[in-house]
């Protein structure tokens, strides 16, 4: 995970900074063509930064177990049980074709939790409207060194380091 943070996340931040600078120049010049051409870089690198920033706070060496309180009650209400939720998010994440993310998000309109997947570095809220609570990075760079190409083993292990306090705080904040 140190390599993941120091190399991959850092690259998204650096590339986002470059794209933002070019976008600022294009805005100043009124160059709409350049602004449009920069959108993919902004989405990819901005999404990579947003997603990884959430990911790091969602993890803890003292994590694992199950959530408590309001989050657990919402999980039971919306998925039937914690085991059902865990199975749905794991299955969805295993099934991401290529690279992407498995997510637990909050649907503000419906007042319910949802699981979904996003391709590449697409940011959850910006592409689905769901407020991100828990993100699981399923790009191979997230697990290749330890789990090779066996994504299911990585996903089985990730539950041992989920920081439920962070996920619960995100849930409480988005309901305000």
Structural domain boundaries in the chain: 1-58, 69-174
Residue 9 labelled as part of a binding site: no
- In this prediction, residue 7 carries a pLDDT of 63
Is residue 4 a known part of a binding site? Answer: yes
Q: Which of 92, 20, 13 is nearest to 47 (CA)?
A: 13
Architecture of the domain defined by 1-58:
Orthogonal Bundle (1.10)
Print pLDDT tens along the chain (176 aa). 565 555 667 888 888 899 999 999 999 999 999 999 999 999 989 999 999 999 999 999 999 999 999 999 999 999 999 999 999 999 999 999 988 999 999 999 999 999 999 999 999 999 999 999 999 999 766 676 577 777 899 999 999 999 999 999 999 999 88
Q: What is the pLDDT of residue 5?
A: 54
Fold of 69-174: minor pseudopilin epsh fold (3.55.40)
Residue 141, annotated as binding a ligand: yes
């Amino acid at each position: 995970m140190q390599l993941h943070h120091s190399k991959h996340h850092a690259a998204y931040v650096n590339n986002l900074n470059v794209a933002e600078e070019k976008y600022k120049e294009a805005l100043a010049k009124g160059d709409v063509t350049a602004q449009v051409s920069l959108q993919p870089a902004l989405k990819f690198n901005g999404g990579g930064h947003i997603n990884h920033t959430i990911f790091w706070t969602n993890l803890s060496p003292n994590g694992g177990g199950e959530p408590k309180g309001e989050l657990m009650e919402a999980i039971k209400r919306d998925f039937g049980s914690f085991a059902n939720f865990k199975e749905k998010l794991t299955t969805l994440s295993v099934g991401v074709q290529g690279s992407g993310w498995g997510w637990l998000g909050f649907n503000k309109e419906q007042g319910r939790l949802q699981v979904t997947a996003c391709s590449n570095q697409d940011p959850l809220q910006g592409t689905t409207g769901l407020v991100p609570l828990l993100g699981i990075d399923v790009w191979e760079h997230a697990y290749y060194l330890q789990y090779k190409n066996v994504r299911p083993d990585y996903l089985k292990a990730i539950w041992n380091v989920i920081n439920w306090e962070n996920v619960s705080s995100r849930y409480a904040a988005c309901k305000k």
